[in-house]
Amino acid sequence: MAADSTNTTTGSSPDGNPLALAEQLEQLNAARKVVLQDSTYYDRIVKGVLPIIGPRALLPLRRWGAEFLAESLATPVLTMREKENITVAVLDTLRGLLDGAAEDAIVLKASVAAAASAYPVALRWIINNSYHKESWEQMSAIKSRILQIWDGAPAPVRLSCVKFAQRVVLAQTASNGMEQKTNGLDISLNMIPANHPLLDPRQLEAEATGLLDRMLSVLQDNSSDALLVNATLNCLSILIRTRPNTTNRILNAVLNFNPLKLANSPMTSKTRVLVKSLEKTTRMLLTHLLRRDPNNPMAGRIHQYIERMMRLRAEMFDEASRKRALVDQAAGDAKRQKMEGAPQFTVPPLGPGPHSLAGVFTLTNNPGLQAFDATQLPANLAAKISVKTLMTLDQQTLDLAVAGIRDRLTSIYAAGAAAAAAAQPAVINAATAPLGVDEDDDDDYEPDLTPAEDTEQILNKLDNAPPEEPTEPAADAAALALGSFNLPPPPTLDPEAAAKLSQAAASRVFGPLSVLKESGALRKPRAGINRLAASSYDRDSWLTFITRLATRSAAGLEDVGGGGGGIKTEDAGVAPDHNNHNRGPPGMLSLGDTIRELLYTYILEDWRRRIEIAVAWLCEEWYNDQLTKRASTSLGAESGALHYERWTLRLVDGFLSYITAQDKVLTRFLAEIPELSRAVLGRLKVLCEDPTTVQLALTTLLYLVMMRPPVREIALDTVAEIWTEFEDARPLAAKYLVKWRPGFIESQTRGGPGSDVAPGNGMAIAT
């Protein structure tokens, strides 16, 4: 047999009868297709192929056979009963394949996998058919053979051995009944009667404990064999969750495991993959457990471990990125460029054709530098560079440059008229750009995941209005003209154009956001209540500025007659103005509302991370609404337009279309905004239409009930409404109602709508 197998390769066997072999494999594959199409043939075909694939068959047949057995014993299409039949029939062949003295690794790997599927089924069979001694003897022999080859086997076989051991542990420890009842996962120690003639539960449990320790030894040794560690970690979840006796032992092993140990060795491309893999796999298992069972007594330790891992990882990455930044700096040879540029200085005349404003003033010949978009530099940096350069520049060079530019402008002016004519179509192109707006959309076919595209999209939308950066050649020629040239009068502004311009202005307010840095961890220690908002030039302070610009300033600016500087006078101007624009023609938004609209879009682009901004903004709105109310009462005037409620509702509606069951951020959002109304909480009912988000909605409400006493009643009303309106959400809603509004459910089920918290009540107030 050994001679046969060494000379045989898949598909092309030089010895024996290759044609017969190929034919045989073809027939076997045809048989496999038959069972895949109709599972009723499994029994007949599995039993039929056993003589062909036994330990004495050629290697390709043994490989095929072992893999077919593994597949058949694992298939989800067969019932437990059907599997028992097949399992008992294949044990002999399986044992033969595993006993082969120098068996091929692929055969072994598949055979052990098949044995892992067979084990619980065989155990169940023996539990119910204790007379069938031989089967159990076969299975026990297979088990001891596998446990014997485990340590010395090649990696793929060891993987299967780990999994086999896991199935033995699963079958021989007591279950808490939380597992799925498929594929024998539910077979456990609970099923074995104490007085079984063949099986001794205590002995089986002891064996399981021993095997579990053997499995966990890779973790205890802090092994860096990532394959084996991953294979082990990824099959532990079901043990921890459904076999309570194993939980502590396993979690202790996992929590003492250091997945970052390899990180100290030299980083090759392979070790990088391994370190990341070990760390992530460990973290996935632990977060998975926390999510499934947040009340686990070990949850605290798991949290600590995860946090420590995140910190260590962050430190590692931080170091890496710091190094990279230095390298980048060294690479840009700024000094050499200066040396080349300075000595002989000439300004090349411009060629024919239209030139951009930037082109006219570009002095360098270096195409790389010409392509550089100086507008990308933050204004403060550009200013610094300019001042420094002017200070060190020698007078002669400056004169040369000024003269050169003057010559260029003269020549352009000469060609001015022609250029003006040529410019017209370009203007029209810019105006018909809306298609371009949508084109960007395709970059972002799942908007909640790739926010970066949306920023561009918005900017593009606003580009329709004024051409700010692509200066039209016509305008160039005109604006740059020398001598007695008068600027043409600007086109008269109609309200529509004015609105467009103000939109553009508003959009520019958002420009710096993409450039500004996140306020670093260094600046975190804040001066408490004494701190000045927006005093540091980072993204946070810019956002503070934007929210206040939206909420406080706009009204005053628009109402020219109102004038004044202080907040109070501004607010006095709010009322008439806002009433006005609310009834005005659509599309004519005030500057404040334009900024609000943009802020809204900005938040929704990446709402999970920008929830803090939303909260800060709503706080400002709320504050402003309070001032408006106070001002209007003190003046005795009609109350001014209020924004808080309207934008809260829009934001909530915005989030809800993207929300998934994991988005706890919603709870946080509702907990932090300054005021909640029935309408806002009513929006949560939408979540109850989707069974996956019911829990999120109700836990959010529960949180509000527990932590925000002022809204407790309306939160409970909402829970009550959910209870009334959504059949699916009832069990959970009922749980909370029983605790927080005792008697409600009884009154509902007994008394009907007569009770004091009738669902209609809340709705009426809400609208």
Partner 1 sequence: METANGSAAPAQNGQQGDESGFKLKFCTVCASNQNRSMEGHLRLAQASYPVISFGTGSLVRLPGPTVTQPNVYKFNQTSYDSIYRELEAKDPQLYRANGLLNMLGRNRVIKWGPERWQDWQVGMPRVKHEKDQGSVGMESGVPDVVITCEERCWDAVVDDLLNRGAPLNRPVHVINIDIKDNHKDASVGGGAIVDLADSLNKAAMEERDKVGPAAFDAGGAASRASFDERVPEILGEWQERWPDLPSTWTLSWF
Query: By CB neighbour count within 10 A (0-12 exposed, 13-18 middle, 19+ buried), where does 686 fall?
Result: middle
Q: What angle do CA 394, 396, 397 make, to 5 degrees?
A: 70
Q: In terms of CB distance, is 96 or 447 closer to partner 1?
A: 447
Give the helix/strand (H/E) hosting 540.
Answer: helix 539-548
Residue 653 CB, nearest approach to partner 1 (Å): 8
The answer to whether 697 and 732 are in contact (CB under 8 A) is: no
Residue 121 CB, nearest approach to partner 1 (Å): 12
**What torsion do the CA atoms of 172, 174, 179, 182 make, to the nearest 10 degrees?**
40
Cα dihedral sign, 720-721-722-727: positive
Residue 63 CB, nearest approach to partner 1 (Å): 8
Q: In terms of CB distance, is 89 or 149 closer to partner 1?
A: 149
Which phi and psi angles does 12 have, rounded to 5°?
A: -140, 95
Residue 534 CB, nearest approach to partner 1 (Å): 27
Rounded distance, CA 45 to CA 618, Å? 69
Instruction: Single out the residue of 366, 363, 359 nearest to residue 333, CA to CA.
Output: 366
Rounded distance, CA 283 to CA 573, Å? 56
Residue 222 CB, nearest approach to partner 1 (Å): 18
Residue 84 CB, nearest approach to partner 1 (Å): 16
Long-range contacts of 491-498 (CB under 8 A, 24+ apart): 495/588, 496/587, 496/588
Residue 356 CB, nearest approach to partner 1 (Å): 27
Q: In terms of CB distance, is 316 or 763 closer to partner 1?
A: 316
Rounded distance, CA 719 to CA 724, Å? 9
Q: In terms of CB distance, is 196 or 276 closer to partner 1?
A: 276
Q: In terms of CB distance, is 10 or 633 closer to partner 1?
A: 10
Residue 272 CB, nearest approach to partner 1 (Å): 6
Residue 620 CB, nearest approach to partner 1 (Å): 22
Rounded distance, CA 208 to CA 190, Å? 14
Rounded distance, CA 167 to CA 171, Å? 6
CA distances from 582 to 334, 404, 549 (A): 55, 54, 19
Residue 3 CB, nearest approach to partner 1 (Å): 10
Q: In terms of CB distance, is 287 or 633 closer to partner 1?
A: 287
Please tell me whether residue 639 adopts helix, strand or coil conformation: coil
**Which residues have C-beta within 8 Å of that of residue 369, sequence separation ≥ 6?**
none
Residue 170 CB, nearest approach to partner 1 (Å): 8
Helix orientation angle between 269-292 and 226-233, rounded to the nearest 10 degrees: 10
Rounded distance, CA 302 to CA 255, Å? 7
Q: In terms of CB distance, is 550 or 687 closer to partner 1?
A: 687
The answer to whether 474 and 360 are in contact (CB under 8 A) is: no
Q: In terms of CB distance, is 27 or 634 closer to partner 1?
A: 27
Residue 191 CB, nearest approach to partner 1 (Å): 17
**Which amino acid is residue 570, in one-letter code?**
E
**What torsion do the CA atoms of 538, 543, 549, 550 make, to the nearest 10 degrees?**
170
CA distances from 480 to 150, 349, 390, 403, 609 (A): 84, 16, 23, 15, 46
Q: In terms of CB distance, is 591 or 651 closer to partner 1?
A: 651
**Which residues have C-beta within 8 Å of that of residue 443, sequence separation ≥ 6?**
450, 453
CA distances from 372 to 329, 361, 362, 369 (A): 18, 13, 11, 5
Residue 179 CB, nearest approach to partner 1 (Å): 6
Q: In terms of CB distance, is 178 or 706 closer to partner 1?
A: 178
Q: In terms of CB distance, is 294 or 528 closer to partner 1?
A: 294
Q: In terms of CB distance, is 275 or 506 closer to partner 1?
A: 275
Rounded distance, CA 200 to CA 190, Å? 12
Q: In terms of CB distance, is 143 or 741 closer to partner 1?
A: 143
Residue 555 CB, nearest approach to partner 1 (Å): 26
Residue 659 CB, nearest approach to partner 1 (Å): 9
Q: In terms of CB distance, is 450 or 639 closer to partner 1?
A: 450
Residue 291 CB, nearest approach to partner 1 (Å): 8
Q: In terms of CB distance, is 464 or 601 closer to partner 1?
A: 601
Rounded distance, CA 210 to CA 207, Å? 5
**Which amino acid is residue 342, in one-letter code?**
A
Q: In terms of CB distance, is 179 or 672 closer to partner 1?
A: 179
Q: In terms of CB distance, is 3 or 560 closer to partner 1?
A: 3
Q: Give the 3-state secondary structure of 307-353.
A: HHHHHHHHHHHHHHHHHHHHHHHHHCCHHHHHHHHCCCCCCCCCCCC
Residue 168 CB, nearest approach to partner 1 (Å): 12
**Which residues have C-beta within 8 Å of that of residue 701, sequence separation ≥ 6?**
681, 684, 715, 716, 718, 719, 722, 736
The answer to whether 111 and 70 are in contact (CB under 8 A) is: yes
Beta strands in 179-264 (DSSP E): none
CA-derived radius of gyration, the chain: 37
Residue 541's Cα: distance from chain center in Å?
Answer: 26
Unique residue bearing structure tokens 């499934």: 292
Residue 724 CB, nearest approach to partner 1 (Å): 26
Q: In terms of CB distance, is 151 or 340 closer to partner 1?
A: 151
- Token reading at 486: 């008068």
